[in-house]
A = this chain, B = another copy of it.
Amino acid sequence: MDLSTRYREILMKQKAYSYVLTIAGWDSNTEAPRGAFARRAEMLGVISGELFQLQTSNEYQEVINGLFERYNELDDITQREIKKAKKNLDKIIKIPKDEFIEYNKLINLSQKVWEDAKQNNDFGSFKGNLDKIVAFNKKFIKYYKIDDQPYNVLLDEYEDGMSMKEYDNFFDTLKRDLVPFVKEVLNSGKVLNDAFITDIYPKEKQKEFANYLIDVVAFNRDNGLMKESVHPFTWNTHSSDVRFTTRYLEDFMFSSIFAAIHELGHATYEQQIDSKWDNTILNGGTSMGIHESQSRFYENIVGRSFEFWEVHYPKLLEIFPKQLKNISLDDFYRGVNKVEASFIRVEADELTYSMHIMIRYEIERMLFSDEIKVDDLPKVWNEKMMEYLGIEPKNDSEGVLQDVHWSVGMFGYFPTYALGSAYAAQFYYAMKKEIDIENIVKSNNIKTINKWLKEKIHQFGGSKTPKELLLEVTGEEFNPKYYITFLKEKYSKLYL
């Protein structure tokens, strides 16, 4: 059997193991009862171990290294695959199997621990797990023996080619050009007719509207579904099975609406990836930043536009006639774009959102440079909130415990959220040159936008890097100025 065939065979097995772990993960995140988790950690630990075995076996190493030696003889696609596979392999073989299994067990258990800690506002009960997770990550980075700073290794995992240098540059630009504008807006003293925002919207009615949104975004219901979870997310095993969640807060209806549109952005990306990548490792979205650019595009650029509500506000009024009785379309549009200093990242408005990310970026940066310890997190968190947003969380549930990410070992992920918002704006100005976005949204024809994104971005899955996509779609490299321009244009009109 030649190397390519052997590669393909091992890869299919790896995919099958990942597949069942993915299904189990969806179940864990959306419905598994509390009692399930101890046994689950044990059982999934075995399966992760088997996958690890496949990803590190001598045969697999032989195949990947063999193909890598013949790199120049490979076609472009296989080159991209082998480059990626080799990069993963070079890292993973350096982790002792026992530690890998132990880490996966820890991760499987910690999410529940975090959930409970968040619910009980008890950082202390989660601290021990988080400490272990951080320690594992630091140890793994050492094993890799990559000639770079620890945090850069993590950043690169979530966004190919991004390091502290690039992120520092990005966030410094935001600090210089955006932060003063944010302060201006926050201090504008503009008064909104906004009591409706915290009125009570029954969950079942919110579900009805979330279901309506699924069709507005033209999500393919045969190839996916929507469910409910504490923290909204998108999950996919394959382009024909893409699932996402939203959450329903009866006193904050915007949460379910914008979580749904946001996740529909991720989900649309996944559904539109060409199935020709299925049996390669280039399936799935290409990076976290690009993924987030899609969710942000749908959530903010489409979902918070005046045109969007021009066409969909009547439906919302029909579902909530009492709550929205005295609220005009204009009031509602302003409500949807209300800017304020707030605690919860996922509920933050479009303008202050990147402040929340800066805080997390800086904290992770310090944590992995050993400038602070896990013990210090609540304190540092609250200080940074004060520094950037001028407010201090009353408790850790609305502070350092709010996000799931660290409980599942995702460090270096957060900055891709801000990056994604900035990418989205850059894509927006490119799209604008070719199609009349405002009119398309106003005429409830989002399919046309989906089609454009499919052609330019989605279909390629992981076969193009973020850098390539930006260059090909927008004609230039990543440039945060579009993001700043977009925000200033929009929020000047609304607030200044």
Contact = CB atoms under 8 A, between A and B. Distances in A.
B34 A278 contact: no
A373 B216 CA distance: 49
A44 interface: yes
Contacts of A31: 225, 227
A32 interface: yes
Contact of A16 (B26, B32, B34, B47): B47
B278 A33 contact: no
Q: How many copies does the complex hold?
A: 2
A35 B225 contact: no
A94 B365 CA distance: 58
A346 B120 CA distance: 44
B223 A33 contact: yes
A43 B16 contact: yes
Nearest to A220: B35
Interface stretch (A17-25, A71-79, A255-263): A17-25
Q: Tell me if A's interface is mostly helix, strand, loop or mixed.
A: helix
Interface stretch (A154-162, A235-243, A384-392, A484-492): A235-243
A43 B16 CA distance: 5
Interface string A213-235: 00000001111110100000000
A260 to B, nearest CB: 17
A127 to B, nearest CB: 24
B39 A237 contact: yes
Nearest to A221: B33
A27 interface: yes
A218 to B, nearest CB: 15
A275 B36 CA distance: 13
B238 A39 contact: yes
A116 B13 CA distance: 30
B33 A222 contact: yes
Nearest to A271: B35
Contact of A12 (B15, B46, B221): B46
A38 interface: yes
A91 interface: no
Given A46-B12, A241-B32, A241-B39, A20 B24 contact: yes
Contact of A240 (B26, B35, B44): B35
Contacts of A16: 43-47, 50
Contacts of A35: 220, 222-224, 240-241
Contacts of A175: none
21 contacts: A13-B50, A15-B46, A16-B45, A16-B50, A19-B44, A20-B20, A20-B24, A20-B43, A20-B44, A23-B23, A23-B24, A27-B27, A33-B221, A33-B240, A33-B243, A34-B222, A35-B220, A35-B223, A35-B241, A36-B223, A40-B237
Given A34-B223, A39-B238, 17 more contacts: A15-B43, A17-B47, A19-B43, A19-B47, A20-B20, A20-B44, A20-B47, A23-B24, A31-B225, A32-B241, A33-B221, A33-B223, A33-B224, A33-B240, A33-B243, A35-B223, A35-B224
